[in-house]
């Protein structure tokens, strides 16, 4: 009987303790209100702070409602972080009653967003090379392939010239506007100029994954 009495007393004390703790705690709830738009602000971050320590954190729902549960008696601060706005509300007193607190803020002072965009020309000098007959004479080249080897975007392989990693033999040649395939073997003395497109190929020369070499031959009047 004595043991049963002790157990009963222990249960009563425990229940009394739990009840007293529950009554010593409260909740903080309310809305975060945008005073500029006169509407509640959804998806705003809030932190409940006491003595510099964050005790709880939450986010407003789509209606701008927030809620802190099981808050002990005391004085707190509530810090709000929104897009372009930050504010701390101090001296928030919590007692045994629930506290409804509307937090008004001005969200008009938004952080300016700057888009930094770098534009690069699709057609650059790196990909276009024009060679005149004076340069050709100085190189002493006898075939067009010898001129192509001098380009920074061209690589000589056992199977031919490769441009920017493309398969050798896939380059396209135009002689006086006529499209041809394979390496050209024409007298260099008859060549007026050569244009090599290894990137940014004009639409008129399209339909290739490699380079386009445009050759213009000399006319009768060029030799006068």
State the span(s) of the chain assigned CATH 2.60.40.10.
26-105
Element (H, E) at 137: helix 133-139
Check pLDDT > 50 for residue 88.
yes
CATH 2.170.130.10 positions along the chain are 128-223
* Domain spanning 128-223: CATH superfamily: TonB-dependent receptor, plug domain (2.170.130.10)
Distance CA 212, CA 209 (A): 9
Tens digit of each residue's pLDDT (9 = 90 or more) over 118-171 = 445 544 455 567 777 777 777 777 777 777 766 767 777 777 777 777 787 778
Whether this prediction's pTM lies above 0.75 is answered by no
CATH fold of 26-105: Immunoglobulin-like (2.60.40)
Distances (CA, A) of 103 to 47, 88, 115: 13, 10, 32
Q: SS3 of 19, please?
A: helix
- Cα separation, 149 vs 158, in Å, equals 13
């Amino acid at each position: 009987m004595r043991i049963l009495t002790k157990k009963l007393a222990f249960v009563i004390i425990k229940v009394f303790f739990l009840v007293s703790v529950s009554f010593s705690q409260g909740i903080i709830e309310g809305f975060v209100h945008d005073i500029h738009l006169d509407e509640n602000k959804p998806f705003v971050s809030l932190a409940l702070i006491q003595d510099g320590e964050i005790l709880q954190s939450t986010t407003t729902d789509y209606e701008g409602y927030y809620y802190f549960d099981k808050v002990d008696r005391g004085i707190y601060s509530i810090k709000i972080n929104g897009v372009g706005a930050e504010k701390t509300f101090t001296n928030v007193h919590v007692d045994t009653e629930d506290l409804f607190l509307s937090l008004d803020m001005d969200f008009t002072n938004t952080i300016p967003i700057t888009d930094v965009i770098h534009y690069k020309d699709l057609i650059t000098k790196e990909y276009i090379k024009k060679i005149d007959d004076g340069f050709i004479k100085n190189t002493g080249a006898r075939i067009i392939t010898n001129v192509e080897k001098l380009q920074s975007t061209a690589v000589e392989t056992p199977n031919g010239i490769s441009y920017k990693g493309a398969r050798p033999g896939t380059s396209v040649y135009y002689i006086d506007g006529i499209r041809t395939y394979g390496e050209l073997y024409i007298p260099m003395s008859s060549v007026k100029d050569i244009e090599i497109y290894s990137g940014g190929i004009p639409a008129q020369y399209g339909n290739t994954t490699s380079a386009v070499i445009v050759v213009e031959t000399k006319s009768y009047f060029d030799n006068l």
